[in-house]
Amino acid sequence: MSFLNAFILSFSDFGEHDRRFSLLTKEHGKINAICKSILRPNAKLAGHLDIPSLSWAELVWSVRGWQITQALELESFSCVRKNSEALRAVLALASSLDRLLFAEDDHEFKGRLTSTDTDNQSKNIYELWYAFLKTMEQHAGRALPVNYTFIQWQCMTKILHELGFLPDTFVCARCGNKFHSAFITYIENQLYCDNCRKALSLVGQLFPKSVLDLMHQGLRGAWFPESSYAVPYIQLARLFEYQSTVFVI
C-alpha cells in the first residue's frame, strides 16, 4: 500500500464500471492504475479523479496491477475548467505527455513504490506540469487576452528538453558555431545557421532566431502569455514534438 500525490493525465473505461488511469507522480513518474466501480452511480471517488486534477491517492497492488482504493482531490484548477480555450490546451498537452512517458507498473516497480528516492527527471517533469497548470490557472482567471496554445507549446518545449528530445538550440548542427544570423534552418530535428544553409544549399524550414531566444528564456523558467513570434514558435515546437513521437515509437 502506498500514498501518493498525482496528476491525472488520462483515463479509459473498461468493463462495466471500471476505469484505468494514467497518473503523473513526483516520486515515480507515470503510473498506470485501475479504479474499480468508479462508474457506478454515486461512486465516492468519481469527483476526485479527473483531468487535470491534482489528487491524493492510495494505491494497492493486485493481480491486475495497481489499484486506486482511495482518492481525494487536492487542486481542481477551477479557472481552467471554466475557460474552454485553456481547458482544451491543457487536455491536449496532457494527452501528449501521456504518450511521451513510459509507465513503471511492472512487478519490479512494485518493490520501489514505497521508496522515498525521487528520480530527478520524474521530479522535474512533475514540477514542470504543475508550473504549467498554475500558469494556465492564473491567466484563465483574468479578463485579459491570452494565447493558451502558445503557453501549451512552451510547456511542450520544456518537457522535450527534460526528456532529451530537444536538439541543441544554441549552436549549428554542422559547424558548431553559435547562431548569430536573423534566421535558422530546421531539417530533420537539427538546426543550421544561415552560412551552412547557403554553403551546402540546404533546403529546410526557416525560422526567426528570435524564436530560439524565446525558447531559451522559457528553459530558464519564463512563461509568456503572448508574443509576436508565437506562430513560428508553435510551428517549430510542433516539429520537435513530432520527431519525439518517432523516437518513442
pLDDT 10s digits, 66-123: 999 999 999 999 999 999 999 999 999 999 999 999 876 544 455 455 454 557 999 9
Please write the tens of the pLDDT for every residue from 131-156.
999 999 999 999 889 999 999 999 99
DSSP bridge partners of 94: none
Percentage of the chain modeled with pLDDT above 90: 77
Give dist(CA 95, CA 90) in Å, integer. Answer: 9
According to DSSP, the residues that pair with 12 across neighbouring strands are 20
Count of H-run helices and E-run strands, the chain:
8, 8
Residue 25 confidence (pLDDT) above 70? yes
Amino acid type, 152: Q
* 219 DSSP assignment: H
Considering the chain, what is the average pLDDT of its residues?
91
Residues 6+ apart with CB under 8 A from 188: 243
Q: Is the pLDDT at 215 greater than 70, yes or no? A: yes
Using only C-alpha atoms, the chain has a radius of gyration, in whole angstroms, of: 20
